Structure 1
Amino acid sequence: MKRGIPVAKRELRGMVTAWLVLLILAACFNTSTVWAQARPTLLVMGDSLSAAYGIEQTQGWVTLLAERLDEQAKVVNASISGETTIGGAQRLPALVGQYDPDIVLLELGGNDGLRGLPPGRMRANLAEMIETSQQAGAKVILLGIDIPPNYGQAYRDAFTTVFHDLAVSYELTLVPFLLENIALKRQLMQSDGIHPTAAAQPAILDNVWPALEPYLKQQGIETALNQE
């Protein structure tokens, strides 16, 4: 019996050690799983300005945003070139259901304006998307755009007023003009005069960032470390 006691103790110590290893591994697994689940999701609903039209996808401002966040958040780019607010309103419910975004960046309306569609219809479609996002618990940031002067000042005023009115009505953060300090610089615009070049993409991100950063901080993202 006396010789059996040390063996039993060794077996007990071995069992305890094995359990401790299992507990440590489980804790590490659970921590990484929680971290992955806790990462906020950003959904970008836009048109060609956010879909990197005419340039490499990796050069677009949405990709640059994902790189700046450095995997602290999941960035889903649901932008489609040529998209209107009508198409966006039709697609958004399924996207919200699929990705459950924490933040929705809404960049639509430019193609409505270029097609001369009624601003009232655009407003209704954007309002529908805002309400869909908010009802799902997402914060919405509205990215405004302008249209060329040849559409007439009255139509331009009615068009841009939509973004400001929606921002007030739904208490949203508004980027008044996504292409501020870009659209009038020929070296930053493609030959069509509508789409920005690859060189302009960091400036677009810089236009969006001040509106987005407070929401990122609310999600616990350390933003200052990720800016160049």
Structure 2
Amino acid sequence: MERIQGRNPVMEAIKAEREIDSITIAKGAEGSIKKIVGMAKDRGILIKYADKKKLDEMCESTNHQGVVAIVSEYGYYELDELMEYCNNQEGSPFLIVLDGITDPHNLGAIIRTVDAVGAHGVIIPKRRSVGITPVVVKSSAGAVEHVPVCRVSNIVNAIKELKEHGLWIAALDMDGDSVYRSNMTGPIALVLGSEGKGISRLVKENCDFAVKLPMEGKVSSLNASVAGGVIMYEVLRQRTLKEG
């Protein structure tokens, strides 16, 4: 079993019908806690009440907003399951491939944006990358409950398989062309590199093309989740214009 902390993440877990063993609520907690209690009761989920200190101990932090849920382990998708999911959705497949994101806050923020732009899922490596942790769930504001996440043994092999399914693979790289002059419509997977090193050489060599964000200021790079968010919204903008 795993822990989910925070009001929005717990609420989204209930909405998504995640298997929830119990929800512990801090005594005296108010506001949206009442809505969570109501939703939990409707699903027959066990509700416990405890002192805030107990919740602090459960989470090893005080950032739980007065609610902690004990849930089943996160269910990762296999790559073929993710492609089947994409094929059952409206529009061309739109996936995000993460080559070594290690900061859970970045992964959570990226997944939150993936949900916001209507992308179909995220692919992460099993090694040298953060998985779905309580911090990721909290940082995503619960979006992990609605975004398929696939863990693969080898990113390069996954990219090759995506190509077989007809996707174009675009790397976010400073040596690429401006994303604003690139065609980002159609079936596409956007590859984002790690916070410090960017995309690995082998992964980059297996991408079809590279795009970048114009940098007009003094700083030469953006945080991975920020850059990814801007690119994802450009994909959404181009798709919306094409469909309109």
What TM-score results when the alignment is normalised by the length of structure 2?
0.31
Greater share of residues in helix: 1
**Larger CA Rg, structure 1 vs 2:** 1
What TM-score results when the alignment is normalised by the length of structure 1?
0.32
Greater share of residues in strand: 2
